[in-house]
Structure 1
């Protein structure tokens, strides 16, 4: 296998710098003395990386990568550390490793390194942050581990991975959310924008209530931000000098969400008025005959 400088530069800035470090130990094999540390090694001699921040591998994506590897081979080598004779451990490239196993490969190309556990953890985290399609929570966990276990400050982390301090802070804030919401981000039930809004929504019960409304009503980030803002304003206005009016019961949070969602859907003002007996009415405003027909057509499409 011949060395390709362009492939080496595609490793990702963080890991690339580590690989080029003059203090790094690189072990080559007799079969590849001039390959820059790349050699073909038996796939059975490689064990998974216990430090990999990625915990969720999408099955269809793995199968697609397996098909690509079956046809074209592995374009980007794995990175492993040498544990002993014919024994290696992954530093990065677990998706390629798993897909290669599915493809039935017996050997894979790999950069072979000697690294202690701390160096290995740093390399794995930096490589995955920059090259893998981690979800926002997995990225946040990687950031937190680099801070806690490697001892980096947020400023140092920002420089190492070429991400802004604001981006790092926003990701780390996601780890303050309840586990159910973090799983929702991981499973793509809500976006990072939704999750960022929920961070400032209040206590855990309030966050979970709004999270379930996002899923039930397919709320946009703007809709959930507006709901959070409205509820915050209502709370601040409830003072002893301005008591609630007893004649008009307030809408529940779910009813408020429905009203706002319907209003956005039909691009018209919607009002819901309730009585204490439980009855009430829903009013949809329209400006003309044409506008009314437009609203009717939109509502008919939802049947």
Structure 2
């Protein structure tokens, strides 16, 4: 059974018992330093202003969590509230003080953002990569910590390989992570960027983008004519899409027979499954997924 890492803030603030009440203290807001492991790179300024206005009227309802750091404090959780409180020009802010290690601080910050869906896909991928590098974790160990499958972690990490321009598109929600994964199935940075711009210009769906990529791969005979493709049943198409989701790359199921083929055909059906990879590292990733 996969063990999820803590429960975000609940990992720091256990259920309060009468014997050990939770202590909330007021701390000078200028003595608090931002969380150096904050996974989120961008904050919605309009939402921060709304929260600041709410704090002006009602105060900070939920305390932030900090860890002692010399004469100051390191923010562990509640960065939006802290920034909004500063915007509201509060002098002090309610906080719970807990001593945590750097690793715990990073993990709690990451999990809190994931639980609240505060991270965009690129921020999530960057945080995963940093967590693995700083604390020497494998993909499987990270997956176990976060309560995710290894294939999910691997697919998120693949977004790191996107060109910076496409990362920006994803971060700004101009294209989806689904679009980005389709773009990763194309070899060559320029081709990826060209198609990403086409997605923006023509407002293409993920499915339409997949169709374009598939057309780019259609083989030609020596005379230059396209080779006719066999029609696939919806069940086969669905199976292809499921394999692509799991493996994070382009997968094609091909029949050696002629005409339309489906999973429910009578008699013997022969064929092959083609799985694409784009580097030795990508091949090793796919092999590990197939073995797991």
> TM-score when scaled to structure 1?
0.66
Of 191, 207, 215, which residue of structure 1 is paired with 2:176?
191
Matches within 5 A, 1:247-286: none
Larger RCO, structure (CA 8 Å, separation 6 or more):
2
- Shift of the 147–119 alpha-carbon distance from structure 1 to 2, 3 Å rule, reads same
Once residues 140 and 22 of structure 2 are traced to their aligned partners in structure 1, the CA distance between those partners, rounded to angstroms, is 32
Q: Give the aligned CA root-mean-square deviation in angstroms.
A: 2.4
Deviation at 1:125, TM superposition (A): 2.4
Of 45, 63, 80, which residue of structure 2 is paired with 1:77?
63
- Shift of the 174–190 alpha-carbon distance from structure 1 to 2, 3 Å rule, reads same
| Pairing 1:43–2:43 present | no
Matches within 5 A, 1:135-174: 135-174=120-159
Answer whether contact 1:53 1:138 (CA < 8 A) is retained: yes
Which has the greater radius of gyration? Answer: 1
Structure 1 residue runs of 4+, over 6 Å off? none
- Shift of the 160–118 alpha-carbon distance from structure 1 to 2, 3 Å rule, reads closer
Cα deviation code 1:241-269 (max 9, x no counterpart) = x3359xxxxxxxxxxxxxxxxxxxxxxxx
Once residues 117 and 48 of structure 2 are traced to their aligned partners in structure 1, the CA distance between those partners, rounded to angstroms, is 13
- 1:143 is paired with a residue whose SS is helix
Query: Corresponding residue for 1:68?
Result: 54
| Pairing 1:52–2:41 present | no
Answer whether contact 1:37 1:111 (CA < 8 A) is retained: yes
Deviation at 1:164, TM superposition (A): 3.1
Once residues 114 and 92 of structure 1 are traced to their aligned partners in structure 2, the CA distance between those partners, rounded to angstroms, is 13
Answer whether contact 1:40 1:108 (CA < 8 A) is retained: yes
Deviation at 1:34, TM superposition (A): 5.4
| Pairing 1:101–2:101 present | no
| Pairing 1:243–2:224 present | yes
Structure 2, gaps ≥5 residues long: 1-5, 227-292
Cα deviation code 1:83-132 (max 9, x no counterpart) = 123x1111122111111111122221222122333332233223322235
Higher deviation after alignment, 147-156 or 92-101: 147-156
Answer whether contact 1:181 1:208 (CA < 8 A) is retained: yes
> TM-score when scaled to structure 2?
0.68
Once residues 155 and 19 of structure 1 are traced to their aligned partners in structure 2, the CA distance between those partners, rounded to angstroms, is 27
Query: Corresponding residue for 1:273?
Result: none
Structure 1, gaps ≥5 residues long: 1-11, 21-32, 246-303
| Pairing 1:17–2:6 present | no
Once residues 176 and 164 of structure 1 are traced to their aligned partners in structure 2, the CA distance between those partners, rounded to angstroms, is 20
Answer whether contact 1:143 1:172 (CA < 8 A) is retained: yes
